[in-house]
Structure 1
Amino acid sequence: MKKAVATKQAPQALGPYSQAVVCGKMVYCSGQIGLDPKTNQLAKEVDQQAKQALHNLKAVLTATGTTPADVVKVTVFMTNIEDFQLVNQIYSQFFVDQQCLPARSAVGVQALPAGALVEIEAIAQKKKGSKSNE
């Protein structure tokens, strides 16, 4: 059985999709961009967008009863693959102190929704007995 998850702590979906879907122990988080959920404004620079996207991702994970430590796979989309090292620095601060870092793909794309420079999606696995915080 699958369950859609939504939180006001992250930007509302820009289209007909869920912020996350929980299916059994797996959590599938839609891509997050650098929109501030309070102002609905996109951060200006790629590093600020990456930080906000990860902050939004954490809010969605929290709403599912998971944390960054539960993430098993991440995909990072960038409109300029030359931003890889800068985004990588921001990313490494998000997954700090983890013995088992998530698998990851980094993909250069032509464009992203709302003019974003970076989008980050994740798959997490719920621990036994964990519940949604919504």
Structure 2
Amino acid sequence: MARRKSIEIEGITHRSAPIPLGAKVDQLVFSSAIAGMDPASGEIPEDPVKQVELVFRNVERFMEISGGTPADIGRMTVYLQDEQYRDLVNEEWVKMFPDPESRPARHSVVKNLRMGAIVQVEIIAVLP
């Protein structure tokens, strides 16, 4: 049996690219870019608030499929299309990680994102 297992969320894809949404190796979980894609439509909504909410819902679902919870996330990298979206991310961040004594490390980068995304995240988690 392979140590590495691909992780997918139904309705969330990298289109035609042969890339899984993430991978689990033993107790370590790594994501590819997780965007604010709506799993029901397979589209990224134009509304920035909705997009950021979906990113964090997709992270929750990703961790559930991986066998964990957001509490297992050790690091999150946030990619922003523009600095103006940082406050929206911070709102969802505090909802997901309300305890300031128990939040993952985080790094944010401003870069050009594709497919209408204004935010994407990558995570590294360690399962119990």
TM-score (norm 2): 0.89
1:65 aligns with 2:67: yes
Counterpart for residue 132 of structure 1: none
Partner of 1:130: none
How far the C-alpha of 1:41 sits from its partner, in A, is 2.1
Structure 1 18/98 Cα, relative in aligned 2: closer, same or farther at 3 Å? farther
Residue in 1 that maps onto 2:18: 16
**RMSD value over aligned CA atoms?**
1.5
For structure 2, the 5+ residue unaligned runs are: none
Residue aligned with 1:114, SS: coil
Q: Counterparts of 1:1-134 in structure 2 under 5 Å?
A: 1-8=3-10, 11-14=12-15, 15-97=17-99, 99-109=101-111, 111-127=112-128
Query: Could you say what secondary structure the match of 1:113 adopts?
Result: coil
Q: Aligned residue for 1:131?
A: none
Residue type of the alignment partner of 1:125: V
Shift of 1:59: 1.0
Kindly state the Cα deviation for residue 51 of structure 1 after the two structures are TM-superposed: 0.7
Between the aligned partners of 2:64 and 2:126, the Cα distance in structure 1 is 12
Shift of 1:98: 6.5
Residue segments in structure 1 that go unaligned for 5+ positions in a row: 128-134
Deviation digits for residues 22-58 of structure 1 (CA, Å, limit 9, x no counterpart): 1121100111111101111212222211110111111
How many residue pairs get matched?
125
TM-score, scaled to structure 1: 0.85
